[in-house]
Amino acid sequence: MNQYVLIIIFYIGLIQLTLTGILYYGLYLAIKSDKNRREEVLYSYRDYDFNIFGKKYCLMFIGLLSVFIIPIFGFLYLYWDRLPEGFGFSFMFAFIVAMGLFIVLFFIKHRIDIYNNGIYIGWRFITWKGFEGYTIKNNKIILIGKRGVIIPIHLNYNKKIEDIVKNYLKRI
């Protein structure tokens, strides 16, 4: 079999896989949209990811960076002189772009909308059924998610936010 035929077959397979994924994602959204229909916004503000998800998010972010960075720098240290010409520059350029992307994603502010039937953070809508309760610590309202489903979400303390959350969740 010719190499071009293999490339064409691989390309057609990728197109089929992509179209199947789009179809299934559309069906998923159609089924889930009634359950997660958002009503009018009760309160809205913007905040950073590390403020919303707390210290665990920061530790996870630093851990992921270190898991990827240490082996890459170890590889470069050991094999830099054996790399093909031009590979080192392209590799370092890709690495710098990826690091810039991580840093930008870390410092983007996300909109937080609080609705009658749930809370919308970034690109995710969570109904009130996903939370066990809430607590207040260090000028933050911490929404405690059901174990294994949702990580705790830290909201800035505000009397209006506390009144809204108090209507839907019990204080722990």
* pLDDT averaged per 10 residues in sequence order, the chain, 172 residues: 75 87 78 67 82 71 77 77 72 78 76 87 81 89 79 86 88 74
Residue 127 pLDDT: 83
Indicate the helix (H) or strand (E) that contains 140.
Answer: strand 140-145
Find residue 111's DSSP bridge partners. 46
CB 45 within 8 A of CB 112: yes
**Helices and strands per DSSP (H, E), number in the chain:** 5, 7
Report the side by side order of strands in the sheet with 131-137: 131-137, 140-145, 153-156
Tell me the two tokens of residue 147: 């174990």
DSSP 55-76: HHHHHHHHHHHHHHHHHHHHHH
Indicate the helix (H) or strand (E) that contains 19.
Answer: helix 3-33
98: left (phi over 0), alpha (psi -120 to 50) or beta: alpha
Indicate the helix (H) or strand (E) that contains 106.
Answer: helix 87-106
- Rounded-to-integer distance, Cα 102 and Cα 40, Å: 33
Residue 153 pLDDT: 84
Q: The whole model's pTM is what?
A: 0.59
Residue 32 pLDDT: 66
For residue 155, the tally of other CB atoms under 10 A from its CB is 24
